Amino acid sequence: MLVTSVGKLRLERPGMVASGIMDETGPSMVRMLRSGAGAVVTKSIGSEPNPGHPNPTFTELKGGYINAMGLPNPGIELFGKEMEVASKSGNIVGSIYGSSPEEFSMLAGKMEEYGAVGVELNLSCPHASGYGMELGTDPAVIRSIVSAVKSAVSIPVWTKLTPNTHMIKDLAIAVYEAGGDAVVAINTVKAMVISPQFGKPILSNKFGGLSGPAIRSIGVRAVFDIRTAVDIPIIGVGGISDWKDAAQYIMAGACAFQIGSAVGTKGIDVFETVHSELERFMKDYGYGSIKDMVGVAHE
């Protein structure tokens, strides 16, 4: 009943682990697959090892988390060892970041070689100079990166979009025009927290990305908007922690969803709980499949 398809990729379960949570080592990704996730999206991986920003990089606030890790990762060569362990156990989608179409294409090719079932282009990190949303708020840049990656690999190419724009529909249209297989909406919302006692921003990077329940209604609105603009598979993400949140994203137009912050607040059982409660809801309300529920809020 929970089976879904994101374009050509079939998933037994619609809920996957969002990039950045329990997804930087082979064993942690295996653990998430065993805990009931339909797929795991890796931490975003770049060309070279990157230590990330100095601490503080993360803090909790009412309604969510704010972080500016600075894209810490071991680099694509070393990450092969983690992928070797994880890709044997289930669906791993490789999240990648780069600064040019060539760099994204190289990284995507490596992820394909490592057994990823798809790649997710991080064109939406809100605080990395020369990367992320600095590239992903320009439709022409999105088109050039997505079309280069599409020519470089044969696995599905997803693009994670930023909500930090007034034109998310145009960004999704750019992905579609370049032949992208799906959009993932949304990444974190650019935000800041100041400590009154210290009289300065808490994060070493000053600003970061807000995630968790506080951004859910922004994400649901973004998915709804994209669905009205372009016929491309949408993966919903942002503040999902229970079946009602997941159902909202699906009814707005998503065929699958991702959970990030709630793995922190609720633990890894969140996948089992969300999936079983979503199935219960579908039975009670007469939805025979996820497909039957996708986009019903538009009707």
> Least distance to ligand DHB from the beta carbon of 137, Å?
14
> Taking CB under 6 A as the criterion, which residues in 187-226 touch ligand DHB?
187-188, 209
Alpha carbons 262 and 177: distance in angstroms, whole number = 33
The structure tokens listed for 87 are 């890709």
Does 159 sit near ligand DHB (CB under 6 A)?
no
Contacts of 198 (CB under 8 A, 6+ apart): none
CA distance 173 to 164: 16
Look-up of token digits 């969803």: 257
Closest CA to 73 of 25, 135, 119: 25
Q: Based on the shown chain and the rule CB under 6 A, indicate whether residue 164 belongs to the binding site for ligand DHB.
A: no
For residue 26, give both structure tokens.
């082979």
| Member of 70, 118, 156, 219 binding ligand DHB (CB under 6 A) | 70
Whose tokens are 């079939």? That residue is 10
Number of residues that bind ligand DHB (CB under 6 A): 13
Among 4, 28, 67, 137, binds ligand DHB (CB under 6 A): 67
**Stretch in the footprint of ligand DHB (CB under 6 A) among 10-18, 65-73, 134-142, 270-278:** 65-73
Binding mask 22-51 for ligand DHB (x = CB under 6 A): ----------------------x-------
Query: Which residue in the list 6, 125, 149, 223 is annotated as catalytic?
Result: 125
Is 125 tagged catalytic? yes
Min. distance of Cβ 51 from ligand DHB in angstroms? 11
Is 74 among the residues that bind ligand DHB (CB under 6 A)? no
Give the 3-state secondary structure of residue 189: strand
Question: In angstroms, rounded to a whole number, what is the distance separating the alpha carbons of residues 184 and 284?
Answer: 29
**Nearest to ligand DHB of 28, 44 (CB atom):** 44
The residue nearest ligand DHB at its CB is 125
Rounded CA separation 280/277 (Å): 5
- CA atoms 241, 247, 250, 251: torsion sign: negative
Alpha helices in the chain (DSSP H): 26-34, 76-86, 101-113, 133-136, 139-152, 168-177, 216-229, 243-252, 261-266, 270-285, 290-293
Taking alpha carbons only, the member of 78, 117, 120, 80 closest to residue 97 is 120
Contact 168, 176 (CB under 8 A): no
Is residue 171 within the footprint of ligand DHB (CB under 6 A)?
A: no
Piece of 125-133, 229-237, 246-254, 285-293 that binds ligand DHB (CB under 6 A): 125-133
Minimum CB–partner distance for residue 25 and ligand DHB (Å): 16
Listed ranges 28-36, 120-128, 247-255, 269-277: which one lies at the site for ligand DHB (CB under 6 A): 120-128
Shortest Å distance, C-beta 78 to ligand DHB: 17
Q: Point out which residues bind ligand DHB (CB under 6 A).
A: 44, 67-71, 122, 125-126, 132, 187-188, 209
